[in-house]
Structure formats: C-alpha cells, structure tokens
Amino acid sequence: MKGIILAGGKGTRLYPNTIAVSKQLLPIYDKPLIYYPLSVLLLANISDILIISTPQDIDNYKKLLGDGSRIGVKFTYAVQDKPRGLADAFILGAGFIGNDSVCLVLGDNVFYGQYFSSVLEKAKAQAEKFGAAIFGYPVKNPKEFGVVEFDENNRVISIEEKPEEPKSNYAVPGLYFYDNEVVEIAKNVKPSARGEIEITSINNYYLEKGKLQVTLMGRGMAWLDTGSPKGMHKAGGFVKTVQEMQGFYISCIEEIAWRRGFITTQQLKALGEELKMTDYGKYILSLAEEEV
C-alpha cells in the first residue's frame, strides 16, 4: 500500500500566519504539523509516500523532508496548482499509485491513541478485502463535518457533507484507505457546485457498491482540530501535556521509523546527534542509548 499526504490549500482561516508559510509547516508544539499525518502513514507500515502541495510551497517540503532516506522511506512530490478537491489527490497521484492500494491522509489531521496502530492495520485489511475503509469520530458539532450514519453492525448507511440535520454525531476524519479502483473512480467524479472533486463522492460510490467499511474511534482516541488559531494552540497544548506527563513523544517520525525497522539504532542515534541541542533530539538519543 502507498500513502498520500495532501498538504495544499491556502490556509486562509489561519491568516496572517499562512500568508507566506504553508499551514502544514507551522508548528504543533515542537514539530511541524505535517509530522503528525506523516506519522500516521509510518504507523500503518507505509513507506512509499507522495506529498502534494502548492507550487509556492513544495520546495519547502522538500527542504524539510528530503527524499525520505534519512528515516528509511521514500518521498515523492507533486504540485496541485489550485484547490480541486480532496479526491484530486488520486488523479494527481495516479502514476505514483500504479497498481497499488492507497491511503490518503490530510496534512492538517492530528491523531493520537494508544491502540492507533491496530486501528490502522484493521482499516488497511478492510480496504484490501472490501474496497474502502473510513473512520467515524464522535463530535459535538457534526453539522461542520462530513457525517457517517451506520447501523448496529457498524455498516455504513449514508454519508452526508455538512448536513443541516445530521443522522449521527460521527464525523469522518481526513484519513481514508482504498483499493486501486479509487483512481478510476476519481477520474469519473463530476465536480460539485463549488467546482471540486469531493471525497464524499468517492465514498458514496463505494457505499453504493457495498464496499465501504467504517471503524469507529471512541474513548482513548483523539482527533484534534487544527483549522483555526485556537485549534492549533489547543493541539499544541495537548501534545505538550501528554509528552511532559508520559515521557514519550507524539508523532516523532524518527522513533516510529526505527520501531518499524525502517532504520537501525545507529541511524537513529545519528539523527538524534543532528538535533542534540533540542529536547526533541535529546529524546531521540535517549531511545538509541536504551538499545545500546
């Protein structure tokens, strides 16, 4: 399975912070926002990753992440010259995806949970067996999200985008797993009234074919909003609190790459040495020293 991070858009809700800087390059406490969705793909054992961003921002992502070899993965880059909807990622990434299944994660999504890795593995298996797998997360304000309705067996009944009368309080986070058919489906989706290729259209296609699965994220899982300055601040505070209280870091991509076997302990130590003047680097070094 391959992975795609969609890190485009103008981030207008964060102006003036994002006038000159891509939203996903802004910090959530001690690391760039894009580290958080990237860690999701690494936790799912996905090491071949496409990063999509704007013409003005793509070089900054290349500067930050390089070709991926430092953490034992492969990064490819593509430009989205203007917002055309989330599902456009599969059209832009068609050559990258090839004959593989794919996971799409939005560049501004932050997830946290003790059993998140097993949740991801379940979704991967569902997509490869049935066709598509999405998630449902309970929210207080479902009118602001895509909402999934399901029966007592967690079978999806409907998906609606920002409904006036939500049929459940479960929002669909920006994390999706699909089989290879998604590329052709995306190519045939008609743009919505706002001129975008909507991810909801993709999901509804799989739903109509009986191929859409949903995994509910309940207690023990966190999906953090980064769509506003207040949301960014709260997400940063959450990360700071968990790291200080529990002693381990959230979305440390070097640690995840090491624990997944993408890099050796020696390579991990070298990465820590590069950042040893920071608490982040010292944390990486402490992990490497534990294995000596």
Q: What is the pLDDT of residues 48-84, one digit of tens each?
A: 999 999 999 999 999 999 999 999 999 999 999 888 8
Asked whether the beta carbons of 103 and 2 are under 8 A apart, the reply is yes
pLDDT for the residue numbered 198:
87
Looking at per-residue confidence, does 99 or 198 come out higher? 99
Long-range contact set of residues 255-262: C-beta below 8 Å, sequence gap at least 24: 255/283, 255/284, 255/287, 256/39, 256/42, 256/43, 257/42, 257/71, 257/72, 257/73, 258/287, 260/42, 260/43, 260/45, 260/47, 262/42, 262/47, 262/71, 262/72, 262/73
pLDDT for the residue numbered 220:
83
Give the β-pairing of 156-161 and 221-224. unpaired
Whether residue 157 is found in the same domain as residue 183: yes
The percentage of residues in the chain with a pLDDT greater than 90, rounded to a whole number, is: 75
Whether residue 212 is found in the same domain as residue 292: no
Q: How confident is the model at residue 150 (pLDDT cuts 50, 70, 90)?
A: confident
Instruction: Note the pTM of the prediction, 2 decimals.
Output: 0.94
Whether residue 179 is found in the same domain as residue 140: yes
Lowest mean pLDDT among 87-101, 139-153, 172-186, 234-248: 139-153
Does residue 292 have a pLDDT over 60? no
| Structural domain of 255 | 2-261
| Segment (H or E) for 171 | strand 170-171
Whether residue 175 is found in the same domain as residue 282: no
Cα separation of 253 and 248, whole Å?
A: 12
Q: How confident is the model at residue 93 (pLDDT cuts 50, 70, 90)?
A: very high
pLDDT (mean) for 247-265? 96
pLDDT for the residue numbered 275:
95
CATH number of the domain residue 210 falls in:
3.90.550.10
Does residue 99 have a pLDDT over 70? yes
pLDDT for the residue numbered 173:
93
Whether residue 93 is found in the same domain as residue 177: yes
Whether residue 161 is found in the same domain as residue 31: yes
pLDDT for the residue numbered 197:
84
Asked whether the beta carbons of 51 and 32 are under 8 A apart, the reply is no
SS3 207: helix
Asked whether the beta carbons of 43 and 116 are under 8 A apart, the reply is yes
pLDDT (mean) for 104-122? 92
Long-range contact set of residues 149-156: C-beta below 8 Å, sequence gap at least 24: 150/214, 150/216, 154/214, 154/215, 154/216, 155/214, 156/207, 156/212, 156/213, 156/214
Whether residue 136 is found in the same domain as residue 217: yes
Whether residue 216 is found in the same domain as residue 197: yes
Does residue 194 have a pLDDT over 90? no
Does residue 125 have a pLDDT over 90? yes
Whether residue 187 is found in the same domain as residue 284: no
Whether residue 201 is found in the same domain as residue 281: no
pLDDT (mean) for 165-181? 94
The percentage of residues in the chain with a pLDDT greater than 70, rounded to a whole number, is: 99
Residues 6+ apart with CB under 8 A from 282: 272, 276
Whether residue 116 is found in the same domain as residue 196: yes
Does residue 27 have a pLDDT over 60? yes
The number of distinct structural domains making up the chain is 2
Q: How confident is the model at residue 219 (pLDDT cuts 50, 70, 90)?
A: confident
pLDDT (mean) for 240-250? 95
Does residue 218 have a pLDDT over 80? no
| Segment (H or E) for 122 | helix 116-130
Whether residue 202 is found in the same domain as residue 287: no
pLDDT for the residue numbered 161:
83
